Amino acid sequence: MHALLHILANPPVTPAKQQQSFLPQIIMMVIFAAVYFFFLRPKRQALKKQQALTRTFEVGDEVITIGVLVGTVLIIDDEEGRVLLSSGLGETQTHLMYLKQAIKGKAPVKTPETPAVEQGSDDNAGENEQ
């Protein structure tokens, strides 16, 4: 009986157990690296970009919200993390309170459009020379 317990407690070492493969550990490291670079890192960069944006806008800036509302910043409350926006024209202006995180970005700056100067064709050039 004593010999049986000794065999069960100390099983014989086979050559397969002596040479363990590191392949499963390498595969797990590759999977972790892929998850990090394809999922976690882009989300972290987008979060940093959004946080930087919430620090850059000021009173009077035109911003666009995640709900695609364009408005002018009237008040910024840093303690509560809120922004009061004014949207609309003339007497129909509406004031709305938003969280800073709901601001998607600054609205594109509108520039006055100038009519494009058309290039004259070869036919018109000949008439002008005569």
Domain boundaries, the chain: 20-55, 57-106
Whole-model pTM? 0.49
Q: Does the domain spanning 57-106 belong to CATH 1.25.40?
A: no
Count other Cβ atoms within 10 Å, centred on residue 83: 26
Cα gap 15→13, rounded to integer Å: 7
The per-residue pLDDT for 21 is 82
Is the model more confident about 112 or about 57?
Answer: 57
CA–CA separation, 39 and 44 (whole Å): 9
pLDDT tens digits, residue range 31-85?
999 999 999 999 999 888 888 877 788 888 888 888 888 888 888 888 878 888 8
Does residue 105 carry a pLDDT above 60? Answer: yes
**Three-class HEC string of 10-63:** CCCCCHHHHCCCCHHHHHHHHHHHHHHHHHHHHHHHHHHHHHHHHHHCCCCCEE
